[in-house]
Chains A and B, each alone.
Chain A
Amino acid sequence: MSTMRKILVVEDEPTCQILLTQALAFKFNIELSTTINRAKDFLQSERPDLILLDFYLPDGDAFDLIQHVKNLENGNSIPIILLTQASETKIKVRSFSEGVYDFITKPFDPAELVARIQSHLLRSDEIKSIYGSTQQVGDLELDIEAKKITLKIAGQFSELSLSPIEYKILQCLIQNAGKVRTREQIAVAAWRRQFFQSRTIDRHISSIRKKLGPRAGYLQTVSQGGYRLTNNESEASV
């Protein structure tokens, strides 16, 4: 028998709580939280497979919790679905840049709710199976579960001391090793938005290169293109 997937439902409105529980309890293991702070407490010790989140909560709005989740170890891999009302277009637009995967509009259809949750869980499983927990490029190793990147020097792996943005940029480049990533793609990976200043990205790249030390050559600038990470240092860096 397969284990039920764990869903963290953050919702304070009592009739919604009942209807959500009724719709999901037969298929998923539900953890219900009525405030952002209780959800944060739960996340200290547990990692749900997905979070279903109402926007307005008594102790703040959903963006507060979304930011908290993204900063957790492995938090980026937890799909978040936001429960909104039809009129909340501005919230929906901002939510995509904050990393929300999808929306369910209230009043929700239980069958649609279950279908959307299952679809996101499936996608999340596929991503994990493609990347696995670790990925190696030459002497660099990305460990998604542990959220760290290590560098092998003289046969020893040591963790790179990266800022959260540097980690996201290097993760994006490792996961796309050998391919050119444009500055727009890097901005989306790092900040989840396409609006950026080229100099800001270039500054982060320069800092990452310094931290790569003898392997700085892995991170190549591609003229009018962007950046590429490769352990084949003979590839032309134009």
Chain B
Amino acid sequence: MISEITNNLSNEITLFLNQVYLNYPPINQEKIKELRKLDATLAIFAKLIKIFHTEYTKRIPEMIGFCVAGEYENLGQVIHRFKSTTYNLGASRAVEIAKQIELAIHKESKNELYLKQLIILLEQECAIAHEILVSHLVD
């Protein structure tokens, strides 16, 4: 199902993604420096990464569910909250995709396929960001 959705990306999404990939790294390195400084043992940094993983694996299916059910208000609340999570971990591309989802929700005519594609892309970006964050933990 995921490949069905993401293999046929609309021009609108392709353009948007090009902009995001061109202008934003998957992880903001400055943010990582800040997070690593929180404590000498990196325990807090590790805890934040764990929460990030728990959150995106839980929230993405929730978002898909709300999208399919047309419950856009609930989708809006989840994505708004999740945007903070991505900000706090410096997942720059994920932040931009989350913002785009919020914009798409607030449009008068909702495009379910477009929203689903964005949510799947958000999941992919979160997985990449998570890998990078973990690698900084063992540096």
Contacts and interface: CB of A to CB of B under 8 A. Distances in A.
Interface residues of B, number: 16
Interface of B: 38, 44, 47-48, 51-52, 55, 77, 80-81, 83-85, 87-89
B47 A18 contact: yes
B88 A15 contact: yes
Given A13-B85, A15-B48, A22 B80 contact: no
28 contacts: A12-B81, A14-B51, A14-B55, A14-B85, A15-B48, A15-B51, A15-B52, A15-B55, A15-B84, A15-B85, A15-B88, A15-B89, A16-B84, A16-B88, A18-B44, A18-B47, A18-B48, A19-B88, A22-B38, A22-B44, A56-B77, A56-B80, A56-B81, A85-B80, A106-B84, A106-B87, A107-B84, A107-B88
Interface in A1-47: 12-16, 18-19, 22
Please tell me the size bucket of the interface on A: 10 to 19
**Main secondary structure on chain B at its contact with chain A?**
helix
A22 to B, nearest CB: 6
Contacts of A106: 84, 87
A18 B77 CA distance: 21
Interface of A: 12-16, 18-19, 22, 56, 85, 106-107
Contacts of A56: 77, 80-81
Nearest to B35: A19
Contacts of B55: 14-15
